[in-house]
Amino acid sequence: MLKYGGRLQHSAFAYAALIMHPQASNLSSSLRTMRLSTASKTQLQSSDERSIFAPKKVIILTKLTRMEFERRTHATLNEEQLKYMLARRGSDYSRLLERHEQHHLYLNIVEQELRNAGIETRVVQRFDYDKAAVEWADAVFSAGGDGTFLLAASRVTSSDKPIIGINTDPHGSEGYLCLLRKRSHEHFKDALKRLLDGDFRWTYRQRIRVRLRGDPGRIEHVELHDQQLNIRSSDAWHGMLSERRSGEQNDGSAEELKDTNGEVTLQELALNEVFMGESLSSRVSYYELQVDDGETMKQKSSGITVCTGTGSTSWFFNINKLNDQCVSDLLRIIGEELSVPMPYDDKQVVRHICNAFNNRLIFAPDLEKMAFSIRDPIYNLTFRPCVDRGFASKIRVRSRCFDAHLVIDGGAAYKFNDGAEAILEVHPEDALKTVIFR
């Protein structure tokens, strides 16, 4: 297991102690010539299960491109009028069109190659991606970026149904969760052959299960995917969403929250992270936190995030990472306080220390643990300093907020106001079945 709770100061003081050691007189010069590559990240640990991928039916969830969004929300405009409107907003119509066409070129290749392999294929956008669509398929492909992968994963509750992400915008999207990451559409045919030949390993990414306690009538669900890109003023968009929701209610595909003795287990499982805090980031979040079976602590902060190993490279990482400036400043202060020379102006040394710290924030996606991080904790005479990040098997948070949400993977949100309580845990049977190449 990774050692997670240590602070940079400890590492820095240990570094200073080495410099002060009699045998370390040549350390500074040695460090400048040492191998300064970053520490290798924890490898994904995969099951010994035999790798067989032979789906008969595949559903492809495609992202909604920015151009498609603009056309849907301004349906009364022709292309010239749309181009003019976008130009007035400072958006590049030609660039949006180019990326739209690149996405669909990649999407068409994915669809065609799957059909060439004798696999029945359906392509859906998020409006038609429901429980029935997932149950129809033997496997799920996402065509987009990491956001599309997270949306695809949110509907997959079985650990037996694989999900494979394809990054259709290698130049504009990181595609960390996607199989080919930054590779272009020319590589998909070979990638599919490797999958069908069994030249890969299954990887089970752990997910967070959330239980909510409180007044069932106050547990209100909000789909943040439907509130993206300033769509609140679009009557056309809201009309389309209303029609979709009506259809979901009629066909029974919309899951209802099941209340059991005042407790609701949310249907969504968090692949990246869960955030709890006030909806407006400018407001202070007030809550009570219990980690495992430890003491319950009252805290004020900018909210709390709880992540999986998959999410440890995302929001959690960016909350906690250090930069070169911070490390250099600390080394300078340590040198001044201890009256010892510190290489605060040696860029290679500073970068090495920075990378060493940041790499320790990341842990394996299949590790049955969560990592929590308190954002901007407030410490004073009332709220004493406490551990602001670490590992946990179980986390309990009771809200003392008044306009807060619990948000899962940036997509699904639930009202999380005063008195509501959330219990977060990782269960192996909730893991998401994904693939990596050997």
Domain boundaries, the chain: 8-34+322-357, 57-198
User: SS3 helix, strand, coil % of the chain, rounded to 5?
Assistant: 35, 25, 40
When pLDDT is cut at 50, 70 and 90, the band that residue 411 belongs to is confident
Q: How many angstroms separate the CA atoms of 275 and 409, rounded?
A: 8
For the segment 29-54, the average pLDDT, to the nearest whole number, is: 49
Q: What is the DSSP string of 198-245?
A: T-EEEEEE--EEEEEES-GGG--EEEGGGG-TTGGG-HHHHHHHHHHH
Number of helices and strands (H, E) in the chain?
12, 20
Look up residue 172 and give its DSSP letter.
T
What would the pLDDT profile of 157-215 be if each residue is shown by its tens digit? 999 999 999 999 998 888 899 999 889 999 999 999 999 999 999 999 999 999 999 86
What would the pLDDT profile of 335-387 be if each residue is shown by its tens digit? 999 999 999 999 999 999 999 999 999 999 999 999 999 999 999 988 888 88
Q: Are strands 139-144 and 163-167 parallel, antiparallel or unpaired?
A: parallel
pLDDT at 231 over 90: no
The residue that leads in pLDDT, 293 or 249, is 293
* CATH architecture designation of domain 57-198: 3-Layer(aba) Sandwich (3.40)
Q: How many angstroms separate the CA atoms of 207 and 63, rounded?
A: 22
